[in-house]
Amino acid sequence: MAQVGGILAFKSTNVANKAVYFMGIDKAKFRKPVLPGDRLELVLEVTK
C-alpha cells in the first residue's frame, strides 16, 4: 500500500524534482492473520 500511495503522490504532482517519502506507521494492528487466498482490493481517488 505504501509503495502504491508513494507512486500516486509522486505522479500527481506537477512540479519537477520532488521527493516522496514514506516514513512509517506506528502501532498498526491487524485484526486477523492473512491466509492463502485472501484478497485486498484498494480503490484510490485523488481528491486534491
pLDDT in tens, 1-48: 777 777 777 777 766 677 767 677 788 887 888 899 999 887 877 776
> If we measure between CA atoms, which residue out of 44, 41, 40, 43 comes closest to residue 8?
44
pLDDT of residue 36: 95
Vertex 25: Cα angle to 23 and 27 (nearest 5): 150
Has this prediction a pTM greater than 0.95?
no
Q: Locate cell 506537477: which residue?
A: 14
Range of the structural domain that residue 1 is part of: 1-23+37-48
30 within a domain of the structure (yes/no): no
pLDDT of residue 15: 64
Total of domains in the chain: 1
